[in-house]
Amino acid sequence: MKLDPTKMKDWEIAAEAEKHMKTVYQLAEELGLEKEELLPYGHYVAKIDYKKVLERLKDRPNGKYIDVTAITPTPLGEGKSTTAIGLIEGLGKRGQKVIGALRQPSGGPTMNIKGSAAGGGLAQIIPLDKFSLGLTGDINAIMNAHNLAMVALTARMQHEANYDDETLAKRGLRRLNIDPKRVEMGWVLDFCAQALRHIVIGLGGKKDGYPMESKFWIAVASEVMAILAVARDLKDFRERIGKIVVAFDKYGNPITTEDLEVAGAMCAWMVDAINPNMIQTIEGQPVLIHAGPFANIAIGQSSIIADYVGLKLADYNVTESGFAADIGYEKFWNIKCRLSGLTPDCVVVVATIRALKCHGGAPIPLPGRPIPKEYFEENLEWVEKGCENLMHCVNIVKKSGVTPVVCINAFYTDTKAEIELVKKICEEHGVRAAVSEHWLKGGEGALELADAVMDACNEPSEFRFLYDLDEPVKSRIEKIAKEVYGADGVIYLPDAEAKIKLIEADEELRRMPICMVKTHLSLSDNPALKGVPKGWQLRVRDVLIYRGSGFIVPVAGDISLMPGTGSDPAYRRIDVDTETGKVKGLF
């Protein structure tokens, strides 16, 4: 059956492609994996024993390292995951040994408006249902590990409230004096559940827990997920888990998971999850899936471990940073690369004509609503104005010393004049631009992009970080705000000021990199401001301390760490064929 994205839905294309997909044993043979390095989960999904692979291939040179980012997102989407998959397919069509290292989707967006992160058209990851619905259980393990820390905390608070010091001592416990008003962690759930953002727990009698306010975050915002993304091995992972700050005591001292004697049990939940998962594109290239999304409220990167493995197994390793260059790539650049010791050979910046129009003055589309008719009509003025955002994102990449390639992710509604205008503007700014039709044509449609990326990978780069870890915390926050976002300055609210003072007094904390929490819909902290906003200041209202993953986390604007479910969520269209057991309706 010919796969035609103009006549078939994404899940229908995936279902047809799955009839002809390679087994994990075939993928392993093509990659040169040894039998004991492959950990199958059925015929088409597997984990890879990273430790054995890296030990065996420690002397093999790394392949080329490519990161895919984008312009500032719009409700229309830029197709960043689709482009990353299309590039993998395009490099495969060019005869290159290529692998992807991408992020696992969260159940929140999959069951909400955005849908899965499996790509689209002829640039997809399969098996779609396994990829979209939990894969091998990594996110479930993260939820269990995270929530176990909260179980340990709330149980300790209850016991300390009900027993004196002598009784606690007989039970092998020391009083921690946890301050119920300074509990840093909440619970996590992998759905968009706005009703759980602010809750009260422990209602009932003294046997029903300690009464206090609490909260839920989406699972991928958990610090456990962040640690999975940045840990170099299991030993590093275990050490980081023990440093997670769950709360503070009544004297302002941190209470960690190690203090609660729960860190080891948390790590036990994660032993299998630390190995990357392997599936494939619909054209049969291997893809490693490990760690999670949401660069606006988390690190938003696939794991360092997956990149280590991919770079040893293939000549090209394509990874992806969440959302746009201002948050996803900035975190890749200043956090992930700093912790991994790896530097990219090329960075792809994805743009669509539709998104450029949105940044250039077209009516802003609403999620779940029909696309305004203006997006289907040629408008060179809007495209040219929107290219200001594109060039801002390109310049962020250039600031890191890496060669950018602009991918014009083509849609059938784009006109030749609009595409030529973007290419002309890119040429005037000295940056490569490639048109890619991977959604419509798969790898064949991404050959121009693959060629541009291979050329860029051969250019010398002068990779450099934006800031030094010895700089004061405020100085680093302000560099990101001014040099990456384009802000005039930073305003710190009282809670943020207090946290920064605490951080600066702690030698270990103050040298941790910055992991900003900010809206992905604007370069600013106001999602309504498109293009390249001028004359604004970043408002930092709080600073979270992620001692385990090693981040200082400023929270800017009104963003929430628990997204909400919209009025027309994807789950309304998802069902199961009860004869075959196949899931239908995923997108």
- Residue 81 annotated as part of some ligand binding site: yes
Q: How far apart (Å, rounded) are the C-alpha atoms in residues 534 and 256?
A: 42
Which one of the listed residues 382, 439, 536, 551 is annotated catalytic? 439
Question: Alpha-carbon torsion 446, 447, 450, 455, what sign?
Answer: negative
Residue 443 known to bind ligand: no
Look at strands 212-214 and 199-201 and give their pairing: antiparallel
- Give me the helices (H) in 434-481, please: 438-441, 447-457, 473-479
Burial, 582: exposed, middle or buried (Cβ in 10 Å; 0-12, 13-18, 19+)? Answer: middle
Secondary structure letter of residue 363 according to DSSP: P
Residue of 226, 263, 295, 450 with catalytic role: 295
DSSP letter for 414, please. -
User: Peptide bond preceding 127: is omega within 30 degrees of 0, i.e. cis?
Assistant: yes
Q: CA angle at residue 499 from 498 to 503, to 5 degrees?
A: 120
Report whether 250 belongs to an annotated binding site: no
Report which secondary-structure segment, H or E, holds 27: helix 24-31
Exactly one of 69, 72, 82, 136 is catalytic; which is it?
A: 82
Strands 277-281 and 286-289: antiparallel
Question: For residue 330, is it left (φ>0), alpha (ψ between -120 and 50) or beta?
Answer: alpha
Say if strands 277-281 and 46-48 run parallel, antiparallel, or are unpaired.
antiparallel
d(CA 399, CA 307): 23
114 part of the active site: yes
Instruction: For residue 320, say whether it is annotated as part of any ligand binding site.
Output: no
Other C-beta atoms closer than 10 Å to the C-beta of 463 total: 13
**Alpha-carbon torsion 194, 200, 204, 205, what sign?**
positive
Q: Which of 11, 294, 323, 536 does the annotation list as catalytic?
A: 323
* Catalytic one of 64, 103, 357, 441: 103
Q: Which two tokens stand for residue 301?
A: 């990167």
Binding residue per annotation — 276?
no
Q: Is 82 a catalytic residue?
A: yes
Can 411 be counted among the known catalytic residues? yes
Q: Of these residues, 232, 411, 479, 482, which one is catalytic? A: 411
Sole residue written with tokens 């059938």: 412
Pairing label, strands 119-120, 123-126: antiparallel
Is residue 75 marked as binding?
A: yes
Token pair 């604004």 is found at 536
Q: φ and ψ at 42, to 5 degrees?
A: 90, -165
How many Cα neighbours within 13 Å face the side chain of 243?
16
Catalytic member of 47, 114, 357, 510: 114
Could you say which of 80, 156, 238, 541 is catalytic?
80
Residue 222 marked ligand-binding: no
522 is in an annotated binding site: no
Please state the separation of Cα 157 from the chain's center in Å: 34
Distance, first Cα to last Cα, the chain:
20
Q: Which among 66, 63, 91, 92 is positioned nearest to 80, based on CA atoms?
A: 66
Three-state SS for 251? coil
Numbers of helices and strands, H then E, in the chain: 22, 24
Catalytic, 439? Answer yes
User: Is 445 exposed, middle or buried (CB count within 10 Å of its CB: 0-12, 13-18, 19+)?
Assistant: buried
Neighbours of 236 (CB within 10 A): 16
| Cis ω for the linkage preceding 563 (within 30 of 0) | no
Indicate the burial class of 501 (C-beta count within 10 angstroms; 0-12, 13-18, 19 or more): exposed
Q: Which two tokens stand for residue 421?
A: 């205008």
Nearest alpha-carbon partner for 318 in 65, 119, 103: 65
Q: Which residues are catalytic?
A: 80, 82, 103, 114, 295, 323, 411, 439
Q: Which residues are annotated as a binding site?
A: 74-81
Q: Which residues are annotated as a binding site for ATP?
A: 74-81
